């Protein structure tokens, strides 16, 4: 689905921001945290509403995020681009010309290579958009905060427990420096979902007893090997196929529904038990080591269990949804309909469509920064990412996990500490019952 908005004039942006500010009053949208002194950070914009943004990760979602950010608020300019793969930078430079006066990138502010983020962070940007393959997220997030930049980062934010804990730890830097951190958990800004979740949390369906999550879709893209780059660099280009870069599709894609579940339940689960495998994904180098289906049970106290399924297979039924069941009724979060135990509709949202949520997540972040009360969503999205990682780990190994162990005991770290051009990393496809739990 094409989510790319067209360029919007400054006058229309001002109107949109007023609407966005009103939308923040929805109870499910993250409120500004901390309330630091007005004017903290974004010093370069004092006396001006200009915010200079830099993009790290110039793929489709990255360029889409830039457009969404520009559309969200007046005074936003993109001034720097970075990606491991130079053709991606060149492509983004060309594609973003349509932003007109909001596109202020000069050729000397285009960076490539595995150290591209360091070069961009040395440039004059106020905020960075982290849209690289998820394995890079913890490293780039910490570096951005240490450089004093506000951050918007796409989901997920880690591919293993070590990375999730690092994001949570780095989030303290944002609090100390009064830096804003927004996350690409767009379901939390989708109005019909926000309204439905608010009603669930207010008790409309009674006590939650269970639920079902779905992300059943077709195969994802693959990219053949590229000449004149090392295996490692090619894998970064074909990143979805490898668990150490994408986290597998339960982490990269299904994290949206898992984050919604985390939001509804107000806490991570106590236990995770999963299964999965590779039934339709071809066993080729380009297809990497990820599974094509998962089935996960998340369990909370009092034996509250939610079943979560995801699949990427051709010619199969498509379903993306989250249904939560309570003692008084059931909520279909994606249609925004809540029914009582007799099947009678007791709430139906009139809002539809996901598109505005991609813009709203940037509007909320920028509004909070300009108000001197920057939001910090890092820990929230790190915990949701870790829930998805736990589902993958349980499926890969065939073992049940406790959340306590996942948070404090697991030593799993699958992303290299010092990524650099050279030989590739080719883990085998996991075998449940044989692959070790680390």
Question: Which conformational region is residue 422 in: left (phi greater than 0), alpha (psi within -120 to 50 degrees), or beta?
Answer: left
CA distance 295 to 275: 5
Residues 6+ apart with CB under 8 A from 422: 230, 231, 232
pLDDT at residue 11, rounded to an integer: 29
Smallest CA-to-CA distance from 329 within 138, 199, 223, 432 is with 199
- Rounded to whole angstroms, the maximal C-alpha distance in the chain is 64
Structure tokens at 419: 């990524």
Q: What SS3 state is found at 331?
A: strand
* Ranges of CATH 3.30.360.10 domains, the chain: 191-351+385-408
Which tokens is 107 given?
A: 């050729």
Mean pLDDT, contiguous 10-residue spans, the chain (438 residues): 29 34 35 30 47 97 97 98 96 97 97 97 97 98 98 98 98 98 97 97 98 98 94 97 98 98 98 98 97 98 97 97 98 97 98 91 98 98 98 98 98 96 97 98
Neighbouring residues of 62: CB distance < 8 A, sequence distance ≥ 6 = 55, 56, 83, 92, 129, 131, 132, 154
Measured at the alpha carbon of residue 103, what is the angle toward residues 98 and 109, in degrees to the nearest 5?
A: 130
SS3 369: helix
Global confidence as pTM: 0.90
Angle CA 135–136–141, to nearest 5: 125
Backbone angles phi, psi at 15, to 5 degrees: -65, -45
**Contact present, 232 and 419 (Cβ < 8 Å):** yes
Q: Is 279 exposed, middle or buried (0-12, 13-18, 19+ CB in 10 A)?
A: exposed
> Under DSSP, is residue 398 helix (H, G, I), strand (E, B) or coil?
coil
Where do you find CATH 3.40.50.720 in the chain?
10-187+356-377
Just give the CATH number of 10-187+356-377.
3.40.50.720
Decide yes or no: CATH 3.30.360.10 for domain 191-351+385-408.
yes
Q: Which residues contact 103 (CB under 8 A, 6 or more apart)?
A: 77, 78, 96, 97
Residue 225: the pLDDT is: 94
Give the count of beta carbons closer than 10 Å to the beta carbon of residue 342.
7
Please provide the distance, in angstroms rounded to a whole number, between the alpha carbons at the two ends of the chain: 38
Other Cβ atoms closer than 10 A to 36? 17
Cβ–Cβ under 8 Å, residues 298 and 305: yes
Cis upstream peptide for 156 (omega within 30°): yes
Classify 83 as helix, strand or coil.
strand
Residue recorded with tokens 């966005």: 20
207: exposed, middle or buried (C-beta count within 10 Å: 0-12, 13-18, 19+)?
A: exposed
Q: Which residue has the tokens 């940037």?
A: 362
Q: Which residue bears the tokens 């009582």?
A: 340
Going from the C-alpha of 237 to that of each of 83, 133, 240, 242, 253, the distances in angstroms are: 10, 9, 8, 11, 18
User: What is the torsional sign of CA 190, 195, 199, 202?
Assistant: positive
**Residue 331 backbone dihedrals phi, psi, to 5 degrees:** -115, 125
Q: How many CB atoms lie within 10 A of CB 369?
A: 25
CB 259 within 8 A of CB 384: yes
CA distances from 261 to 265, 276, 346 (A): 6, 20, 21
């Amino acid at each position: 689905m094409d989510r790319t908005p067209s360029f919007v004039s400054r006058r229309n942006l001002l109107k949109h921001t007023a609407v966005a500010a009103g939308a923040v009053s929805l109870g499910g949208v993250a409120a500004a945290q901390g309330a630091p002194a007005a004017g903290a950070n974004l010093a370069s914009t004092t006396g001006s509403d200009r915010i200079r943004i830099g993009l790290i990760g110039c793929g489709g979602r990255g360029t889409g995020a830039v457009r969404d950010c520009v559309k969200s608020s007046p005074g936003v300019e993109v001034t720097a681009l970075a990606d491991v793969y130079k053709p991606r930078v060149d492509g983004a430079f060309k594609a973003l010309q349509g932003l007109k006066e909001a596109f202020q990138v000069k050729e000397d502010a285009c960076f490539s290579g595995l150290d591209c983020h360091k070069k961009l962070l040395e440039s004059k940007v106020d905020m960075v958009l982290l849209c690289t393959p998820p394995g890079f997220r913890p490293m780039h997030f910490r570096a951005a905060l240490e450089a004093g930049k506000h951050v918007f980062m796409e989901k997920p934010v880690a591919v293993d427990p070590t990375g999730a804990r690092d994001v949570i730890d780095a989030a303290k830097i944002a609090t100390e420096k009064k830096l804003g951190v927004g996350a690409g958990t767009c379901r939390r800004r989708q109005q019909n979902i926000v309204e439905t979740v608010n009603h669930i949390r207010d008790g409309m369906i009674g006590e939650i007893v269970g639920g079902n999550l779905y992300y059943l879709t077709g195969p994802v893209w693959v990219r053949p090997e590229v000449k004149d780059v090392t295996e490692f660099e090619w894998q970064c280009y074909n990143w979805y196929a490898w668990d150490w870069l994408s986290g597998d599709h339960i982490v990269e894609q299904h994290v949206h529904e898992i984050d919604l579940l985390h939001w509804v339940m107000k806490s991570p689960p106590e236990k995770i038990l999963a299964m999965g495998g590779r039934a339709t994904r071809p066993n080729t180098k380009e297809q990497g080591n990820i599974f094509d289906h998962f089935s996960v049970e998340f369990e909370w106290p009092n034996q509250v269990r939610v079943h979560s399924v995801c699949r990427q297979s051709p010619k199969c039924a498509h379903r993306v949804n989250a249904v939560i069941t309570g003692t008084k009724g059931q909520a279909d979060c994606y249609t925004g309909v809540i029914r009582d135990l007799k099947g009678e509709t007791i709430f139906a949202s009139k809002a539809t469509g996901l598109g505005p949520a991609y813009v709203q997540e940037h509007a909320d972040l920028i509004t909070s920064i300009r108000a001197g009360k920057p939001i910090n969503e890092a820990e929230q999205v790190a915990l949701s990412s870790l829930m998805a990682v736990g589902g993958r780990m349980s499926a890969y190994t065939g073992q049940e996990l406790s959340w306590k162990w996942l948070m404090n005991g697991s030593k799993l770290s699958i992303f290299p500490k010092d990524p650099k051009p050279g030989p590739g990393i080719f883990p085998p496809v996991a075998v449940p019952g044989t692959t070790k739990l680390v």
